[in-house]
Amino acid sequence: MTMLTSTIDPTSDSFRANQAAFREKLDALYALRRQQRSGGSEKARRLHIERGRLLPRERVERLIDPGTPFLELAELAGLNLYDGVPPGAGIITGIGVIAGRHCMIIANDSTVKGGTYFGMTCRKHVRAQRIAWANRLPVITLVDSGGGFLPDMANIFPDEGQFGSIFHNQVGMSGDGIPQIAVIMGPCTAGGAYIPALCDEVVIVRGQGFMYLGGPELTFAATGEKVDAETLGGGKMHSSISGVTDHLAEDDAHALAITRRLVGHLGEARKPRKTAAEPRPPAWPVAEIHGIVSRDPRVPTDNRAVVARLIDAGEFHEFKPLYGDTLMTGWARIHGHEVGIIANTGVLFVESAHKAAHFISLCVQRDIPLLFLVDVTGFMVGRDAEQTGIAKAGAKMITAMSSARVPKFTVITGGSYGAGYLAMLGRPFQPDAMFMWPSGRAAIMGPDQASSVLAQVRVQALAREGKTMTADEEEAFTAPVRKIYEDFQTPENFAANLWVDGVIAPEETREVMALMLDLAARRDKAETRFGVFRF
């Protein structure tokens, strides 16, 4: 085992300038988190409380074990996508500990548009289910929703990954023996009524929780029958007559107490297949990463120094350190959990792609999870690269990465562009979890490169017509292109569209990865079948 070294000077002007720039990005992230965690409008929250209900986040806090963390997922989903809807898309999802057991918690936020489902709400709910399914986490759903947001029908109704996929996932998880508990704490109408109906056990709050396929108004419109909400779908009726619900609670606190007892009787949680070592802190402060990450995308970050501040004790068993040295590969521990790390230290060349494929195959054979730390402009281009087979080498790396069935995680720390984004376990390759730092950026290419390419295409088109473009005209043409790419590549945009599972700070990364690695260690080992490698 090698101890990584660091020559970073925290007193240098460059470090302090990087630190200040990173701090601005963190402040912006924390401001968005505060906006998201406040929920709906002050009026909506006040009405919620006046009706004797706990606010959605208070419900989550009461549900999890005191003093335990809650890893919130997709907290910025839907950012700026809907009028009057704060980040989060009106639903809270995350992993918390209930009665000593990790669970996926999904909670409607009825202070936001009555807890209705937008397209992004559906996608966020489905993503939480998929993470729970992969890690065999019990799913606890706190239901308080008016159903689908009808104007967004195209994004909630007809397709895979939308509202119907919630039911499909519930059935599949149930078949795989994954416990599911619903707590009806408010309205649960129309198709949404199937969410608790498809769960193993259902808790409902008397006088507050209602569950029906058609509410009193729809029932009257369809049949002419006049019936009040309590008789039609209240807690007492469902618990004593229909049998749709199993436990009747008097209020929110009682319902959550019942739910905690139910989780306590789910049986013994899975044991890890591997024993983690004793956790040790990094050799250097994690917060120093703020001053290491380059404020200028044209100036590379010292990613070896970044890795040194994320792993236990700075100990790193590097693989092929002298070969393909624009990619750093090796084994380390994070909070005691062994992990294979693939981190960019430059452009991907033929040698670095070969090295990645070799390293991934070793991790598969040894059943070691993979962590991709991404900061790459892409694969090398040009005549030499093409003649030495960069496409073939990249294909080997992608085949190894895509085929590997060990747990795989991605953290985008800097740039992530083009085929480099894909080869470094981009979203299309279904990482088990994917996060970005506030310094992260991702697009098909960088803003300058995109504007330059399109400008060249424009110049060539004009030349065929015998025309030219002045410098001012070229700038007027390229400026909007750069703006489009600059806006697209931000972590806020990726989080808003649920292309990542969250934006996290460097100092949160060790704890987030420790949880994900602990959950992954409790899965069954999966068999890997590699695709064809071109030689």
Q: For residue range 192-201, list pLDDT tens digits in order.
A: 899 999 999 9
Mean pLDDT of 31-42: 95
Q: What is the pLDDT of residues 447-501, one digit of tens each?
A: 999 999 999 999 899 889 898 898 888 899 999 999 999 999 999 999 999 999 9
Percent of the chain with pLDDT over 90: 87
Query: Of 264, 288, 322, which marks where a domain is finished?
Result: 264
Q: Residue 370 pairs with which residues in a beta bridge?
A: 340, 408
Query: Of 236, 264, 292, which marks where a domain is finished?
Result: 264
Model pLDDT, residue 220: 81
Tell me, yes or no, if the pTM score tops 0.75: yes
As a whole number of angstroms, the distance between CA 202 and CA 205 comes to: 10
Model pLDDT, residue 473: 87
Model pLDDT, residue 1: 67
Query: Of 232, 264, 296, which marks where a domain is finished?
Result: 264
Per the listing, tokens 């050799």 go with: 283
5 pLDDT more than 90: no
* 89 in the same domain as 132: yes
Model pLDDT, residue 506: 98
Model pLDDT, residue 222: 84
Q: Residue 343 pairs with which residues in a beta bridge?
A: 328, 373
128 falls in which pLDDT band (50, 70, 90)?
very high
Model pLDDT, residue 325: 96
Instruction: Return the closest-CA partner of residue 363 out of 345, 340, 338.
Output: 340
336 pLDDT more than 80: yes
* 383 in the same domain as 479: no
* 457 in the same domain as 378: no
* 325 in the same domain as 256: no
Helix (H) or strand (E) segment spanning residue 60: helix 56-63
Which CATH number belongs to the domain containing residue 50 in this structure?
Answer: 3.90.226.10
* 23 in the same domain as 68: no
66 pLDDT more than 70: yes
Q: What is the pLDDT of residues 270-321, one digit of tens each?
A: 899 988 999 999 999 999 999 999 999 989 999 999 999 999 999 999 999 9
Number of domains in the chain: 3
Q: What is the pLDDT of residues 141-169, one digit of tens each?
A: 999 998 899 899 999 999 999 999 999 99
260 pLDDT more than 80: yes
- Structural domain including 482 reads 447-488
As a whole number of angstroms, the distance between CA 441 and CA 437 comes to: 9
Rg (CA), the chain: 26
Instruction: Return the closest-CA partner of residue 291 out of 11, 516, 77.
Output: 11
* 203 in the same domain as 167: yes
Average pLDDT, the chain: 95
Q: Residue 141 pairs with which residues in a beta bridge?
A: 106, 182
- Structure-block tokens of residue 340: 């294979």
218 falls in which pLDDT band (50, 70, 90)?
confident
* 234 in the same domain as 123: yes
* 251 in the same domain as 121: yes
Q: What is the pLDDT of residues 308-321, one digit of tens each?
A: 999 999 999 999 99
Q: What is the DSSP string of 439-496?
A: T-EEESS-HHHHHHHHHHHHHHHHHHTT----HHHHHHHHHHHHHHHHHHTSHHHHHH
347 pLDDT more than 70: yes
Q: Are 118 and 77 in contact (CB under 8 A)?
A: no
219 pLDDT more than 90: no
* 480 in the same domain as 502: no
* 455 in the same domain as 435: no
* 250 in the same domain as 110: yes
Model pLDDT, residue 535: 84
* 502 in the same domain as 397: yes
